[in-house]
A and B are shown apart, each in its own frame.
Chain A
């Protein structure tokens, strides 16, 4: 494809692509996000292609804008979000969503749906006897407002032409030709877009600070190092709508006077790296990236830097150090990244979702943006809903939506009919919220007040069987493992806290441990060098605040109220069921079981190592744990 030399050529190509989309009168969108791919969606894609071609139905797997007749579009699209029900296949123009599709269903989809125009109810989402043919009508989607994720699941994630056909790069076009850099920054400032990576710092202010720097070389960096366990919003944007993020970065480059940008992607996201590489190559081919873009003086190049497995690299100064090929260790601030960032130059560093919001704001205006969500945290937020919840997946809701709506209306409540206990928000830096907080609106300021943080948007739901002390230990283990070791409070302090928590879950907790944990937490929070350390203690502090009784039960009674801590498990023989056969005693590796034949046996808990090997040997199900 030839390079686009001016605005008219871009507009013409966009029209041609939109026209070509009209010719795809029927479309099958197969989810090609990491979730559905691992459930076999690409095999479904190939089978559908073979079947359609075998029936001589014109099928287009890539949008071509040269004159051609009508065809069935068969596309690999980004994550639809409803990962629980994957592999997902969307049928257009009807807007039907087929869930849990299997290879065996492909023939029927082609025969009945594509050729016959009929719906296959068996594949549609069903709940309480009702069938939900349309994607938008499914309760999971109904309460969502998908604007940043509007393309995810709706367009081909691998095609720049399809992105153009849906109006792509029009925000960049407007910014390049109709706005000055100051106009762009004003619009972003007015929209009050706040950093989606967790901090909530106003993006407009950050951009203005970078623009003000006199240093001629500046950088735009996108933080795609989504390291919070249980979060995959950014992954879905990078995989499902990579061009939107690129467009956001290009606008940032234009506004701040940067000619080069880096996207830092974590190594655990190979598919995102692949899609981004492809997207950059396509944009370069069209001349949307490179020198003299669309005949103007604006030059912009984008590079991908792959992470190598270090959570701390989500921190700004560690991330830039990592791009420079160094150990990803944070440095003392100030100077801030906006003054001395990547290669010591002024740097705009925003996360994936923040950049993905930018084209929307330029296209629809700051006023529109501010009409969504509360005044201090406008816009939407994507959340990854995971853990013990019915509908796991990726969602997008207006800021200010309550936890109750998210967990019960969209998420469908807790799995297996269990009771809701807590939700961890903000990953290892965040806190646990309990049923008392369910009516809390999800926005930056309300969560901060409640002692949690919105973080990048991971919501991990926990049911009644989850031990909160163990959860705190889990997060502390994570943070301790990821501590870079540069500053003492974090390196040594997290180690001490972890040691205490490990003792408690093993039943060796002592009186005074809770106070010691809180004191350590205070010190680390006050003195650690970077955000990782400063927030390392949050899960411990918030679980102590809400579940102090669980800590006390572990310490004083050596009991785990949730019955999940292995070392505190008690294995006992029910004398009413035991026939005294001695089989269990023979299987015990530490001779902890004794008794007289034909009399109930018993377990010596001081010897028992809780290996549970006796449980499976008992023919009478007399051995229990709890």
Chain B
């Protein structure tokens, strides 16, 4: 049986913004920040609280690139493929990351929920192209080899964390 969903975090967010329809995007953004994605349980609850249809909420959640209805990995790696990064060869970096993690364009998150690899159209850090971000931390002037090294380091961190959690 699924454990019951704890809505207290959602309530906090609702009380911060007020139950206004115009705040749907801000509310969904905070929900996503809290859970790293938009859990489906949240939609009927928000629909009731805001007095709008679930379809209305889904229309927003599916329109904007930043919202995800699927759980993401512990490390969300975003490869910038803006023009500046693209002409400074960002695609080989993306390909290396996908190869290292066994991911593809369709399959963005590893089975163990350790990593998510996605592209972003521009981070505005073009001076440091090509860049990638890991959970919003910017890594400048990347190369495929540096990407491999980074994955090794992040894997070690992941292992240390799970060891810490089980100890």
Contacts and interface: CB of A to CB of B under 8 A. Distances in A.
A387 B25 contact: no
A38 B83 contact: no
Interface string B109-132: 000000000001111111111010
Contact of A232 (B20, B22, B67, B124): B124
B84 A325 contact: no
A373 B85 CA distance: 31
A230 B29 contact: no
A70 to B, nearest CB: 35
A500 B140 CA distance: 34
A81 to B, nearest CB: 9
A309 interface: yes
A392 B66 contact: no
Interface in A307-345: 307-311, 322-329, 343
B25 A235 contact: no
Contacts of A158: none
Interface in A370-408: 384, 386-388, 392-394
Interface residues of B, number: 39
A39 B22 contact: no
Given A229-B82, A231-B124, A392 B29 contact: no
Contact of A460 (B29, B84, B125, B140): B84
B64 interface: yes
Nearest to B83: A230
Interface string B66-97: 11000000000000011110111000000000
Contacts of A327: 59-60, 63
A424 interface: yes
Interface in B3-29: 20-26, 28-29
B65 A310 contact: yes
Interface in A205-232: 226-232
B25 A84 contact: no
Interface residues of A, number: 56
A86 interface: yes
B163 interface: no
Given A37-B138, A310-B64, A328-B64, A230 B126 contact: yes
B94 to A, nearest CB: 13
Contacts of B126: 83, 230-232, 384, 386-387, 392, 458
A547 interface: no
Given A38-B139, A229-B122, A392 B127 contact: yes
A484 B65 CA distance: 11
B128 A460 contact: no
Contact of B84 (A305, A306, A387): A387
B128 A308 contact: no
Contacts of B127: 35, 83-84, 86, 232, 386, 392-394
A97 interface: no
Interface stretch (A266-274, A509-517, A598-606): A266-274
Nearest to A311: B121
B83 A460 contact: yes
A468 B59 CA distance: 37
Contacts of B136: 270
A323 B20 CA distance: 12
A478 interface: yes
19 contacts: A34-B138, A35-B127, A38-B138, A86-B127, A227-B122, A229-B82, A229-B121, A230-B84, A267-B29, A305-B25, A307-B64, A308-B64, A325-B60, A326-B59, A327-B60, A328-B63, A386-B83, A387-B84, A392-B128
Interface of A: 34-35, 37-39, 83-84, 86, 226-232, 235, 267-270, 305-311, 322-329, 343, 384, 386-388, 392-394, 424, 427, 458, 460, 462, 466, 471, 474-475, 478, 481-482, 484
Given A230-B126, A392-B127, 7 more contacts: A37-B138, A269-B124, A305-B26, A307-B64, A310-B64, A458-B83, A475-B83
Closest 10 CB pairs of A and B: A83-B127, A309-B65, A229-B82, A38-B138, A308-B64, A386-B84, A309-B66, A229-B122, A232-B124, A325-B24
